[in-house]
């Protein structure tokens, strides 16, 4: 079974501005979410090229998550566990896939296609889905200001209902802002989730989609709340910032005995599939 969901996330930005804000947010968010031995480790970050989409950037990350999994997965999944994220960024189009490195779960796969447009989420088939895909697709419009965020992630200073940008004079966001504010852009994300383990399919698919929704909500709230920190950066500036934060993040991840990473390497022989973040 393939579960297809389309998330539409509006931002009070232009698509061109978001190109910088997204890179800044991901780099900073990855560092803040990382602890010793757990978090997001950047393995590769290099230019790539596609015959259709042109030049882009390829990144591969290892997302170490074992202690953050829900109890019912922790009970049956080995301690050594991480997700491989591979992303091809041909802005304003990106493709991201996730694979689990865990011998227990060999059949879980998530593919995310994303496109950004300067509108408020009004394009009905932004990513050119087929008729079959459209039949099973559900659309979820996220509101970065008024949708509920998990209490463990909530910070008042990152709440768009209270934040006001000094540089751009945007915010705080009020009810109906997606129809009122200018500029406005939308991130369209189509998520294909496939899981084929009998008895766990519904639980895992629900967990994946809830996790994706939460991280999208959190990340986009932060991208807006950090607006004054990244607005005005050039692409070169934000790439320098990205490299700096990636080095700091990798140092935090690898600042353990090293046993977990060695064991993870041993576990790679016989696996794939999983969960979300971008």
Would the pLDDT of 62 be above 90? no
Query: What value does the mean pLDDT of the chain take?
Result: 84
Stretch 147-154: mean pLDDT, rounded?
94
| Separation CA 258–CA 255 (nearest Å) | 8
| Separation CA 9–CA 158 (nearest Å) | 16
Stretch 109-128: mean pLDDT, rounded?
96
pLDDT value for 4? 83
Q: Are 45 and 27 in contact (CB under 8 A)?
A: no
Stretch 114-141: mean pLDDT, rounded?
96
Q: Among 9-13, 114-118, 182-186, 272-276, which stretch is predicted with the lowest mean pLDDT?
A: 272-276
Stretch 116-131: mean pLDDT, rounded?
97
Would the pLDDT of 65 be above 80? no
Q: Are 102 and 83 in contact (CB under 8 A)?
A: no
| Separation CA 130–CA 125 (nearest Å) | 9
- Residue 257 pLDDT class (50, 70, 90 cuts): very low
Residue whose C-alpha is closest to residue 27's, from 249, 276, 242: 242
pLDDT value for 32? 84
Would the pLDDT of 249 be above 90? no
How much of the chain exceeds pLDDT 70, in percent? 79
């Amino acid at each position: 079974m393939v579960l297809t969901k389309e998330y539409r996330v509006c931002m009070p930005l232009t698509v061109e501005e978001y190109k910088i804000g997204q890179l800044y947010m991901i780099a900073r968010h990855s560092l803040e979410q990382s602890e010793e031995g757990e978090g997001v480790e950047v393995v590769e970050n290099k230019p790539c090229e596609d015959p259709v989409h042109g030049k882009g950037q390829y990144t591969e990350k290892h997302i170490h998550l074992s202690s953050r999994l829900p109890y019912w997965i922790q009970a049956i999944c080995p301690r050594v566990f991480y997700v491989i994220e591979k992303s091809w960024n041909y802005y304003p189009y990106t493709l991201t896939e996730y694979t689990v490195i865990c011998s227990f779960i060999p059949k879980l796969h998530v593919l995310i296609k994303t496109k950004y447009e300067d509108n408020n989420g009004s394009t009905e088939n932004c990513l050119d889905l087929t008729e079959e895909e459209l039949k099973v697709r559900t659309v979820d419009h996220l509101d970065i200001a008024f949708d509920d965020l998990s209490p463990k992630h909530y910070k008042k200073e990152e709440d768009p209902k209270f934040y006001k940008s000094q540089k751009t004079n945007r915010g705080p966001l009020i009810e109906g802002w997606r129809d009122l504010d200018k500029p406005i852009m939308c991130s369209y994300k189509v998520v294909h989730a496939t899981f084929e383990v009998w008895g766990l399919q519904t639980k895992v698919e629900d967990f994946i989609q809830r996790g994706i929704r939460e991280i999208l909500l959190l990340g986009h709230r932060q991208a807006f709340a950090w607006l004054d920190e990244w607005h005005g950066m050039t692409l070169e500036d934000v790439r320098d910032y990205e490299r700096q934060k990636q080095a700091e993040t990798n140092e935090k991840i690898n600042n353990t005995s090293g046993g977990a990473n060695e064991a993870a390497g041993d576990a790679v022989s016989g696996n794939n599939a999983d969960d979300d973040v971008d």
